[in-house]
Structure 1
Amino acid sequence: MANTRPCLAQLSRICLNPPKTTASCTSARYLSSTAPLSKGFKPAIVSKKEKPVLSRTNPQKNKKKGVAETKKRKARTTYIQYDLRDADKFSLCDAMRYIRAFEVGQKPTSVKYEMHVKLKSLKNGPVIRNRLQLPHPVRTDIRICVICPADSPYAEKARAAGATLVGEDDVFEAVKDGKIDFDRCICQTDSLAKMNKAGLGRVLGPRGLMPSAKTGTVVKDPSSVIQDLIGGAEYRERMGVVRMAIAQLGFTPEEVQRNIKSFMEALKKDMGILSDRTNKEVAEVVLSSTNAPGFTLNGNFLDSNSTITPRDLSTS
């Protein structure tokens, strides 16, 4: 037992005081960028090449420096056109059939067929803008304002024709206060100077409601223009597309066809007038409605393989 005590004492010393190991080169935070490095270790310094300064005025200096000139992309001058050779195209009756399927349960007078004519045109070129009296007018609840003296005979005729707001000072104050309760505005020629003095262009101009002689809204007799506005339709080219309400859901295919034919003839005349300034061509004609998608038309009234007749579409 005397001999074993020193052995137990030695074992206890070894277990309680283990031999010291050599220190490692790095600390325990070896994944951190702040970990200390071992003595004598020098990290490799990566030299960053300075980018040469390009000269905008003298491109020959750039060639001497070995810098390739980056070519700027030219801005597109025309609108993007898609290849329609593999696209699905529909006759007028087939397109009306699918549109009516989307408009089930809607009132025939509340939903309108809309035409979208996509043009091959320049972006910054002149645009098409005109008015058209369709063979079968699309009735709308349009509100018309007439700027003329409230006690003049022109005001009486305007009210009888269907104008909702007639006057001068009252109209000017309402417009300046932001109360614009009309969709079209007509000015009588005698009130033009007073309207310009009131400064309505800042409010009505951005909304497209400012009367002007170019658009035919500054006239001697506003009552004649009111009749055209109620029964007529206005169209304008925006972003290379001309849109217009062409018919109502309750129209027959023959009535829709006559309206489309009249609209396309008027559109071609407008393009012919602008032919000396720019070249415009019809790229695609699409028929849609308020809640239905667009269907590209192929120019036919009814295809030979159609499973529907115009008589089936004439009943609402």
Structure 2
Amino acid sequence: MPKHSKRYEEIRKKVDRNKYYKLDEAIKLVKETATAKFDETIELHLVTNIDPKKTEQQVRGTIVLPHGTGKPVRVLVFAKGEKAEEAKRAGADYVGGEELVEKIANENFTDFDVAIATPDMMKVIGKLGKILGPKGLMPSPKSGTVTNDIEATVKEFKAGRIEIRNDKTGCIHLPVGKKSFDDSKLKENIIAAYSQILSMRPSGVKGQFIKKATISSTMGVGIKLDLADLNAAISKAA
């Protein structure tokens, strides 16, 4: 067993690992235990009941966080002509066609958070699948990142739209803000994220879709959420 730092052990003492915390209490606790010297990211972790081996049970798409993640989002757009100009006006960080494809292929350039493409560019960027796919950066119609509505899509990702997908164990991990966020903003982001992911439930999933939810900070420990309280918060916010 690896030995944890003294700081980590102190944090762990504050969190009851057998308790399911109400959301307000969990937010206060996650901020209290985020004691690193930088503004730690607060993350939501969901254990789902999907069968990750079945294609039709994959959870993938985009959700909108009302207050963003607190992290600047670097957006790359594959487009040409007027659509490229549209991307630049919308604030995309990198815009280009074949030359951008070559840069990624030859230099393994992946210094961005989201890649968006116009439909006509998909045949050109197909060869980037092995580079972008494993990093979750390949544009996809399912995630809303293959579109002709470039301006709106770039602005949405810049403002707080994020792509989510389950991992190979069927879990979903996503940022929902920073320690520096007001409690109310973190709460609204968590409720919005959870509610939108619930609506993505694959039709083939039997029983309870989300089995467990926890929040944690970058350097902190997992704090279990009371799902009944979380569902009540969603109903209240609706």
Amino acid at match of 1:245: P
Q: Are 1:114 and 2:43 an aligned pair?
A: yes
1:94-147 alpha-carbon deviations (Å, 9 max, x no partner)? 32333223323645xx32211111123334231211211122222322221111
Which residue in the other structure is 2:100 paired with? 171
Aligned counterparts of 2:130 and 2:34: Cα–Cα separation in 1: 39
Partner of 1:258, secondary structure, is helix
Amino acid at match of 1:257: K
Counterparts in 2 of 1:281 and 1:221: CA distance versus 1, 3 Å: closer
Unaligned runs of 5+ in 1: 1-85, 302-316
Name which of 117, 125, 128 aligns with 1:200: 128
Counterparts in 2 of 1:122 and 1:188: CA distance versus 1, 3 Å: closer
Counterparts in 2 of 1:119 and 1:202: CA distance versus 1, 3 Å: closer
Aligned counterparts of 2:174 and 2:61: Cα–Cα separation in 1: 11
Aligned length: 207
Partner of 2:116, secondary structure, is strand
Which residue in the other structure is 1:98 paired with? 29
Aligned counterparts of 2:135 and 2:69: Cα–Cα separation in 1: 23
Name which of 67, 72, 76 aligns with 1:145: 76
Amino acid at match of 1:242: I
Which residue in the other structure is 2:183 paired with? 253
Aligned counterparts of 1:127 and 1:292: Cα–Cα separation in 2: 28
1:260-306 alpha-carbon deviations (Å, 9 max, x no partner)? 222222122111xx23x2225222111111111011122548xxxxx
How many percent of aligned residue pairs carry the same amino acid? Answer: 25
Unaligned runs of 5+ in 2: 1-16, 231-238
TM-score by length of 2: 0.77
Q: Are 1:232 and 2:145 an aligned pair?
A: no
The equivalences for 1:222-301 within 5 A come to 222-230=150-158, 231-238=160-167, 239-271=169-201, 274-275=202-203, 277-279=204-206, 280-299=208-227, 300=229
Amino acid at match of 1:278: V
Which residue in the other structure is 1:8 paired with? none
Counterparts in 2 of 1:191 and 1:242: CA distance versus 1, 3 Å: closer
Aligned counterparts of 2:96 and 2:52: Cα–Cα separation in 1: 40
Greater length-normalized contact order (CA 8 Å, ≥ 6 residues apart): 2
Which residue in the other structure is 1:134 paired with? 65
Amino acid at match of 1:205: G
Contact 1:201/1:210 (8 A) holds in 2: yes
Instruction: Select the structure of larger CA radius of gyration.
Output: 1
Give the aligned CA root-mean-square deviation in angstroms. 2.3
Contact 1:174/1:180 (8 A) holds in 2: no
Partner of 1:214, secondary structure, is helix
Counterparts in 2 of 1:205 and 1:118: CA distance versus 1, 3 Å: closer
Partner of 2:70, secondary structure, is coil
Partner of 2:61, secondary structure, is strand
